Amino acid sequence: MNDANVTFEAPLLRGRFLVYNQKPSLDIMSVKQTHSNIIHSEDNCHQLLEGDGIIGTSSTPKAILTADCLPIVLIGQNGHVVIHAGWKGLSNKILLNDLIKSINPTYAFIGPHIRQDQYEVQADFLAHFPDNLSAFKNINSKIYFDMALTATQQLTHHYQNIVIEDCNLCTFLDSKFHSYRRNQTPNRNWNVYIPNTPN
């Protein structure tokens, strides 16, 4: 990792995943994130559109900004998708978007995000995931939510034989990453997927 702003790097199935602590000096695609279930084709992302995912086949780097939410890369037979998925996106089933189904995903990578032991929620939060109570645990009368488990369950249920890789890093605990829950920072982690070649 030669770039001083790179805080994490991982090889993926067809490309690389990097996290920068500020906007990288790359020709990059991104979206104006709104905690939705909206995904845009890269063909439409030459302007900044509201949404939480970009789907494409080109080798153009694609970025998702996070400060505790899940950055997810999905790679399939017909392309790739980068996704910003917080609890609202997961509740709104962004991972089940028809555009994702169209690439027939076979591989998923989950990047750094806040982990369950640091993600306390209130009792009324359970109503957002009534069919997924296994993603919650109670410790000393406090409730904690597991976003990665929720994403994994949604992916494995809807995409047969998908392989899921999780970096197992926590934005809250690891000071290399920006974390809103830790200190209400306005800064964001730039999660970038760089495909090797068009796919």
Residues 196, 197, 199: CA angle, nearest 5 degrees: 115
Residues 149, 150, 152: CA angle, nearest 5 degrees: 60
Pairing verdict, β 15-20 and 62-66:
unpaired
Counting Cβ atoms within 10 Å, is residue 17 exposed (0-12), middle (13-18) or buried (19+)? buried
| CB within 8 Å of 165: residues ≥ 6 apart | 12, 107, 108, 109, 110
Sequence-ordered strand ranges (E) for 42-151: 53-56, 62-66, 70-76, 79-85, 105-110, 120-121, 136-139, 142-145
What's 164's DSSP letter?
E
**pLDDT tens, residue by residue, 126-175:** 999 998 899 999 999 999 999 999 999 999 999 989 999 999 999 999 99
User: Torsion over CA of 64, 158, 58 and 35, rounded to 10 degrees?
Assistant: -20
- How much is the pTM? 0.95
153: left (phi over 0), alpha (psi -120 to 50) or beta: alpha
pLDDT value at residue 47: 83
Residue 149, CA distances (Å) to 61, 87, 145, 154 in order: 27, 12, 9, 9
In this predicted structure, the answer to whether residue 181 has a pLDDT above a threshold of 90 is yes
In this predicted structure, the answer to whether residue 1 has a pLDDT above a threshold of 70 is no
**pLDDT tens, residue by residue, 15-26:** 999 999 999 999
C-beta of residue 61 within 8 angstroms of C-beta of residue 87? no
Q: Which domains does the chain have, with CATH numbers?
A: 6-116+151-195 (3.60.140.10)
pLDDT band at 197 (very low <50, low <70, confident <90, very high): low
The helix or strand, by DSSP H or E, that contains position 90, with its residue range, turns out to be helix 87-91
**pLDDT tens, residue by residue, 30-74:** 999 999 999 999 999 888 899 999 999 999 999 999 999 999 999
C-beta of residue 155 within 8 angstroms of C-beta of residue 162? yes
